[in-house]
Structure 1
Amino acid sequence: NSDCINPSTYITDFNALTVAQFNGTQWVDMGRGGVSGVVTNGSITSSLSIPQGYITLGSYSAANTLPVELLEFSAISGANVINIKWT
Structure 2
Amino acid sequence: MKKLKNESALLKKALEIGETYANNRGFNSFSGTDSSKQKIECIYRLLVNDKLIAPLPEDKEDLLSMKHRLAMWIAKKLPDNHPLLK
**Shorter-chain-normalised TM-score: which range?**
under 0.3
Query: Which is bigger in relative contact order (C-alpha 8 A, separation at least 6)?
Result: 2
Q: Give the TM-score normalised by structure 2.
A: 0.26
Q: Give the TM-score normalised by structure 1.
A: 0.26
Max Rg structure = 1
